[in-house]
Amino acid sequence: MNPRMLNFIPLVTNLLISHGSTRNYTEKNLLRCLFFRVFPCASVAIMPVFIKLKQHPARLFFVLLLSLAASACSQHDDDVFHDQFFAFGTLVDLTLYGVEPAAARQASELIEQDFHNTHGNWHAWETSALTRLNTQLASGATVIADPSILPLIKEANRLSQLSSGLFNPVIGELISLWGFHDNPLPVGTVPDADRIRELVAQKPSAADITINGNRINSRNPAVRYDLGAFAKGYAIDRAIVRLRKLGISNAIVNAGGDLRAIGRHGERPWRIGIRHPREVAILARIEIEGDTSVFTSGDYERFFEIDGIRQHHIIDPRSGYPADRTASVTVIYNNAATADAAATALFVAGPDEWPAIARDMGIKLVMLVDTEGVIHMNPAMQSRIQFEPGMDADVQLTEPLS
């Protein structure tokens, strides 16, 4: 089969859904939403659509389309402020409830600025504080860490160790070998097996890093930071801190479908849809309030297919190849950075090992869909989510996590 890039359809991970109605999120649905702009429909109160556009050649067009769609569909709810911008290679979507329009606009501008600054500092392959750190660490030097990345690095290292290295933020060399950091994705080829073996044998790990005050050094020259599995969560946490400082207590910050929500949507909780990893449909929905993050790692986000085998962007650091038994993992946790790292780690852990790693990471709500379509979750997660009709045919419950 021709190794063609198949992942060009913009996809959503988790999405905010309107008053009880499900929304799909293909181009067709966006057009349907635009239709509502011309023929306003009272049933649509909010239609924020969150897509991953990293490698779509016409992504600007889609951003425009989405912005129009979102503004069209949010105009029915005066209490909701809704704004979107492009950062971290994805669409960031901000929803505020009950905030004066001028204050909401100002908050949105500050958050957008924060996202752009952090993206510039944390980029793993375009010149940034992180790439400079990588170059210096590889040379064996002791590096004075840039204050914009030190806390991020420390937290990534801590979570990596808790996950037994399955979330491994220093396998940047492997990720670049697979080409998953390129935008758009190149036509995929599986890298040379010897080179993969070589990189795996070098065992780059967070444990190779020593941090003393603001000084960092690495005893392993193969260490190369790539924070793609974690930085988005960290940036969302910072956005929530910013909103709280501005006195905003009812909000959702959503980056490409991964989100953290605080407060409520007025009289009711926020309603979130979790997408099906193999269908353009919602698998389950969940209501959240207070302070909750919902993160999903999926093999549908960045991938190419060769001879019917999906080669995707979540790499098992033990083999050097994409983790091949999981289709998606959804983690619910209060802090977004931890939820982000955990979703990636549990994806790699797969259907047998995930409960042990979840316990080590302190995660109490998990749903994993394996590549056979079996849905694995703990009882507490089952009591939190509501499946769409017929979607829960094959659920396997584990022991409680706590």
Shortest reach from residue 228's CB to ligand AMP, in Å: 3
Taking CB under 6 A as the binding criterion, the range among 42-50, 161-169, 217-225, 247-255 that sits at the site for ligand AMP is 161-169
Q: Which two tokens stand for residue 320?
A: 């050097």
Residue 340 as a binder of Mg ion (CB under 5 A): the answer is yes
Q: Which of residues 174-213 bind ligand AMP (CB under 6 A)?
A: 175, 180
- Residue 94 and residue 44 in contact, taking contact as beta carbons nearer than 8 Å: no
Instruction: For residue 394, give the H/E element and its range.
Output: none
Shortest reach from residue 124's CB to ligand AMP, in Å: 7
Residue 313 as a binder of ligand AMP (CB under 6 A): the answer is yes
Q: Residue from 150, 329, 343, 346 that binds Mg ion (CB under 5 A)? A: 343
Shortest reach from residue 92's CB to ligand AMP, in Å: 15
Distance CA 65, CA 79 (A): 23
The total number of residues shown for the chain amounts to 402
Shortest reach from residue 347's CB to Mg ion, in Å: 8
Shortest reach from residue 86's CB to ligand AMP, in Å: 17
Taking CB under 6 A as the binding criterion, the range among 247-255, 259-267, 296-304, 379-387 that sits at the site for ligand AMP is 296-304
Residue 315 as a binder of ligand AMP (CB under 6 A): the answer is yes
Q: What is the residue-wise DSSP string for 199-263?
A: HHHT---GGGEEEETTEEEES-TT-B---TTTHHHHHHHHHHHHHHHTT--SEEEEETTEEEEEE
Q: Which 3 state secondary structure label does DSSP give 95?
A: strand
Residue 166 as a binder of Mg ion (CB under 5 A): the answer is no
Residue 344 as a binder of ligand AMP (CB under 6 A): the answer is yes
Distance CA 346, CA 372 (A): 17
Distance CA 122, CA 172 (A): 13
Q: Which of residues 63-92 bind Mg ion (CB under 5 A)?
A: none
- Tally Cβ neighbours within 10 Å of residue 148: 15
Nearest-10 Cα torsion for 314, 318, 323, 325: -150
Q: Is the Cβ of residue 6 or residue 64 nearer to ligand AMP in the bound state?
A: 6
Q: Residue from 48, 169, 273, 350 that binds ligand AMP (CB under 6 A)? A: 169
**Which residues of the chain form contacts with Mg ion (CB under 5 A)?**
229, 340, 343-344
Binding region for ligand AMP (CB under 6 A): 167-169, 171, 175, 180, 226, 228-229, 297, 301-302, 313-315, 317, 340, 343-344, 348
